[in-house]
Amino acid sequence: MAEFVIFFIMAAVALGAAISMVLARNPVHAALLLVTVLVAIAVMFLLQDAQLLAAVQIIVYAGAIVILFLFVIMLLGVDKSESLHDPVRSQRPAAIVLGVVGLAELLFLVGHHWATGTSSGPGLNDGSGGNVERVARSLFTSYLWPFEVTAILLVVAVVGGVVLARRSGLPPQQELELERDDDDTEPDAMTESTSEVSAP
């Protein structure tokens, strides 16, 4: 009973915040609404006996990823309001129809008991230790190989981020020249000014 009430409140909050996020004109508002959704989902994780994930959800998602969004908004000064006017007129109705059809299809299937598989894995409450220990055991046995691969993936995400976001790998003098070119030329003429680095 209590669980049901909690679920109902959180679901209402999350859906309301999600819809407002999609419609928000200001990216900062959208980011704050996203945090609301994430916290509501963290509560749902708790209802589902996923204590570790609830904590990780708050720390990583709300704490790191959304902060990254806010930093980029701050850095670029793109927090101006955006008009919701759509330049591609046909796309919006098409998108909404597509979404509604997809949702209807999924909801149609919900009436049944979905999870029909018989699990072969370790249970939620098997063995000793808490939730953390059991998740860790699964992570370091069944999923050890992808876990190792994600290490490289994170390294390369950092490398890629730095490559794209830093000003340039050029020595300072040439860098200044390139930037001056950027300022002087219209975007259409850009291909000319950088032609020495751009075969087709």
Partner 1 sequence: MTLASVHLTDSYFLTFAAMLFSIGAVGLLIRRNVLVMFMCVELMLNAVNLTFVTFAKTLDDIRGQAIVFFVLVVAAAEVAVGLAIIVAIFRRRRGGATADDIDLLRG
Partner 2 sequence: MNPGWDFHAIAPEIIISATIIVVLIADFFFQYRRRFQTSQLATIGVLAAMVPVVTLAVNGGTRQMFGGAFVVDPYSLALTGFFLAAAYVTLLLSVDYIGDGDYYQGEFYVLLLTSLLGMMVMTSARDLITIFVALETISIPTFVLAGWRKHDPKSNEAAIKYYLIGVLSSAIMLYGMSLVFGLTGSTLLRDIALAAPRTPHTSLLIVAVFLTLVGFAFKVSAVPFHFWVPDTYEGAPTPVTAFLSVSSKAGGFVAMLSIVFFGFFAVPDTWQPALWVLAAASMVLGNLAALRQTNIVRMLAYSSIAQGGFILVPFAVAADGHAARSSFEAVVIYLLIYGAMNLGAFAVVIAFARRTRSAEISTYGGLGSYAPSFAVLMTVFLLSLAGLPPLAGWFAKFVMFRSVLDAGTPGATVLGVIAAVMSVVAFFYYLRVVREMWFHPVPDSVNPEPVQIPLALNAAIGICAAIVLIVGIYPQVFARIGELAAGG
Which among 9-17, 29-37, 91-99, 158-166 is the span making contact with partner 2, rule CB under 8 A?
A: 158-166
* Cβ neighbours, 10 Å, residue 42: 20
156 is a contact residue toward partner 2 (CB under 8 A): yes
- Judged by CB under 8 A, the chain residues 61 through 80 that form the site for partner 2 are none
How near is the Cβ of 197 to partner 1 at its closest, in Å? 14
**Cα–Cα distance measured from residue 70 to residue 64, given in angstroms and rounded to the nearest whole number:** 10
Residue 82 binds which one of partner 2, partner 1, none, with CB within 5 to 8 A depending on kind? partner 1
48 is a contact residue toward partner 2 (CB under 8 A): no
* Binder of partner 1 out of 9, 13, 63, 165 (CB under 8 A): 165
Q: What is the DSSP letter of 116?
A: -
| Closer Cβ to partner 2, 74 or 98, answer by number | 98
**Cα–Cα distance measured from residue 66 to residue 68, given in angstroms and rounded to the nearest whole number:** 5
126 torsion bin: left (phi>0), alpha (psi -120 to 50), beta (else): beta
Residues 6 or more apart whose CB falls under 8 angstroms from that of 194 comprise: 178, 181
* Binder of partner 1 out of 89, 90, 121, 200 (CB under 8 A): 121
